[in-house]
Amino acid sequence: MKKTLTALLLLSALLFCACSETAENPEDPGTVQSNTTEDGSPAAETAPPETEIDAADRVPEMKFEKEMHFLLPDVSWLTRDIITDEITGERVNDAQNSMKLAMEERFGTTLSETFTGDIWSTNYITRLVSSGDDSFDVCYSLDLYAPGYIVADVVTPYTDVEYIDLSRVYWDQSILKCMTVNGTPYFAFGAYDLSYYDFTHSIVFNKDLVADYGLENPYVLVRDGSWNVDKFFTLAKTVLSDLDGDGQMKRKTDSWGFMSEPKQVLPCFWISSGELSINKDEKDLPYLNIVGNDRFYSVFDKVYNIMWDGGIWCSDQAGIDYWKETAAMFGESRVLFVDEIFYRLNELRDVEVDFGIVPYPLFDDTQAEYYSRVEAGARIGMIPITNKHPEYAGALLEAMASYGYQNLIPEYYEVALKRRTSRDSESSEMLDLIFATRRYDLGDTWWCNELRDGLFKNMFAEDDRDLASGIASKEKIINKTLSKVIEKLSQ
């Protein structure tokens, strides 16, 4: 496990360390290096070898003959926009504005965004395409509607778009593998859009409570590979306390081990345990991965055991303003662990307690590596088939992804997260690990309405543990929706 963690941290350093052109390589472990010359005098120190990270795009010099228009879902409460029109002094915002200006100068165009509130279906974009409307060069949607766009045949696969090269480092490779169907990438996440960073989950812990209760250091547990579900539970149950002594555990007065919205608990833990509710077969086609999957059932049962039977999770959430009240509980040192997406880490910036950030735990000691969940809600960008100049869209997205990797992500990652939100160098190390191990479950994203929200959300909130019956009630409709995509791509 230590070797795996070291490798992941090295990888993330290459990917994120200022997203620069170079990064240091470790010494070759098979080579013994001497500190002296042949005559015994000290040898001059030499710089370690450097490995080039080729983050420059290969889009040729070109000028567009038109303005470029993006259509975006209005989800400002969930994530950031892609570009910004003004300099505000906030470094992420200003980096997005610089990206916009750089693209406009490079391609001799102007970029604009139009927002729509019609975001909870495929109707809006599908209507545009069916009417032949080519007003927008790139259309964005919430990712849970991706299958509908494939079936409706309104999207041009990225592999059919000139200038887009999905093998490059600025297209997220780990998530891309999850998003292809039958080997075809209709969508991809590029480093110009922060939404899939914003929707990455982690656990924030109260360092003051760790010290007050003499708990094991979560950072050390992560590095040692002993940060697993059992250890998480052991630490969380230690801080459980009926502070007002009334014999009842209540959200507003007592101390809890873990705070999370009900719909987030199960998917965060099954994904961190290495399970996927919808996996893909040897032909890269999706299938329901729960029926007959004993390990998924084991994870499911374990989560209920520690959360409900162990009582560490605060189930008293009726009528709650979740983010506001969770921040208040955390600031009052009445909860040890809190589930957070990165966009919501801002909620904790003003709390007085000291806090750290770690990935979700391993399932047990046999698990080889950590996994970090990317939740449904990230934007997917698509080039509609009505686009008369898809090569312009391809050139622009490729160039923006390259620019974002080199210039935007460092601001988001190094400044907005490491220096301003997390409060110690160890949390920075954990962020490297979290981002390097992101995972995207199609049952939690593309088919979220059928699985996560259609089944698991209410099951967990109501302490319903009959997974076999729950899946049996949904299996037919889930397989039917999967079949639609499979049939479309098998024609």
pLDDT in the model for residue 132: 95
| Inside any domain, residue 140 | yes
CA-CA distances (angstroms) from residue 301 to 94, 311, 459? 46, 14, 12
Q: Which of 351, 373, 395 is the last residue of a domain?
A: 373
Residues 287 and 193 in one domain: no
Closest to 259 in 3D by CA, of 310, 323, 304 = 323
Residues 296 and 414 in one domain: no
Of the pLDDT bands very low, low, confident and very high (cuts 50, 70, 90), residue 433 is: very high
| Inside any domain, residue 51 | no
Mean pLDDT of the chain: 88
Find tokens 């041009």 and name the residue.
156
Q: Which of residues 12 and 260 earns the better pLDDT score?
A: 260
Of the pLDDT bands very low, low, confident and very high (cuts 50, 70, 90), residue 201 is: very high
CA quadruple 158, 164, 170, 173: dihedral, nearest 10: 40
Residues 181 and 207 in one domain: no
Residue 26 CB-half CA count within 13 A: 9
Closest to 61 in 3D by CA, of 95, 100, 20, 105 = 105
Highest mean pLDDT among 23-27, 117-121, 292-296: 292-296
pLDDT in the model for residue 147: 92
Cα separation, 152 vs 129, in Å, equals 10
| Inside any domain, residue 280 | yes
Average pLDDT of the segment spanning 75-100? 93
pLDDT at position 215 over 80: yes
Q: Which residues of 274-292 are buried (b: 16+ CB within 10 A; e: fewer)?
A: bbbbbbbeeeebbebbbee
Residues 206 and 312 in one domain: yes
Average pLDDT of the segment spanning 471-486? 93
pLDDT in tens, 175-200: 999 999 999 999 999 999 999 999 99
Residues 161 and 290 in one domain: no
Closest to 382 in 3D by CA, of 128, 61, 200, 31 = 128
Helix (H, G, I), strand (E, B) or coil at 354: coil
pLDDT in the model for residue 428: 84
Long-range contacts of 59-67 (CB under 8 A, 24+ apart): 59/163, 59/395, 59/398, 59/399, 62/107, 62/395, 63/107, 63/108, 63/109, 64/107, 64/108, 64/109, 64/389, 64/392, 64/395, 64/396, 65/389, 66/109, 66/389, 66/392, 67/109, 67/110, 67/111, 67/112
Q: Which residues of 307-339 are buried (b: 16+ CB within 10 A; e: fewer)?
A: beebbbbbbebeeeeeeebbbebbbebbbbbbb
| Inside any domain, residue 8 | no
pLDDT in the model for residue 51: 59
pLDDT in tens, 343-386: 888 778 778 888 999 999 999 999 999 999 999 999 999 999 99
| Inside any domain, residue 46 | no
Cα separation, 459 vs 453, in Å, equals 10
Beta bridge partners of 341: 201
Q: Which of 410, 436, 462 is the last residue of a domain?
A: 436
Find tokens 């230590």 and name the residue.
2
Residues of the domain holding 414: 68-197+376-436
Q: Which residues of 159-196 are buried (b: 16+ CB within 10 A; e: fewer)?
A: eebebbbbebbbbbeebbebbbbeeebbbbbbbbbbbb
Residues 118 and 228 in one domain: no
Residues 368 and 419 in one domain: no
Residues 267 and 208 in one domain: yes
| Inside any domain, residue 449 | no
pLDDT at position 115 over 60: yes
Angle 262-272/294-304 helices, nearest 10 degrees?
A: 130
CA-CA distances (angstroms) from residue 300 to 204, 269, 309? 22, 8, 13
In this structure, the number of other CB atoms found within 10 A of the CB of residue 58 comes to 11
In this structure, the number of other CB atoms found within 10 A of the CB of residue 480 comes to 10
pLDDT in tens, 133-163: 999 999 999 999 999 999 999 999 999 999 9
pLDDT at position 35 over 80: no
Share of the chain above pLDDT 70, in %: 88
What residues contact 217, with CB distance under 8 A and at least 6 apart? 210
Cα separation, 164 vs 153, in Å, equals 20
Residues 265 and 290 in one domain: yes
In the structure encoding, which two tokens stand for residue 269, read together?
């833990």
Cα separation, 341 vs 54, in Å, equals 30
Cα separation, 129 vs 386, in Å, equals 6
| Inside any domain, residue 318 | yes
Which residue type does 366 have? T
> Hey, which bits of 226-295 come out as E strands?
256-259, 278-280, 286-288
CA quadruple 80, 83, 88, 89: dihedral, nearest 10: 80
> The CATH number of the domain where 133 resides is what?
3.40.190.10
**CA distance from start to end of the chain:** 44
What residues contact 340, with CB distance under 8 A and at least 6 apart? 201, 202, 203, 204, 347, 348, 357
Of the pLDDT bands very low, low, confident and very high (cuts 50, 70, 90), residue 323 is: confident
Of the pLDDT bands very low, low, confident and very high (cuts 50, 70, 90), residue 1 is: low
Residues 368 and 381 in one domain: no
Helix (H, G, I), strand (E, B) or coil at 404: helix
| Inside any domain, residue 223 | yes
Residues 351 and 381 in one domain: no
Cα separation, 254 vs 260, in Å, equals 16
Residues 190 and 205 in one domain: no
Q: Which of 373, 401, 422 is the last residue of a domain?
A: 373
pLDDT in tens, 410-420: 999 877 677 66
Give the count of domains, the chain.
Answer: 2
pLDDT in the model for residue 423: 67
Beta bridge partners of 113: 70
pLDDT in the model for residue 294: 98
Of the pLDDT bands very low, low, confident and very high (cuts 50, 70, 90), residue 491 is: low
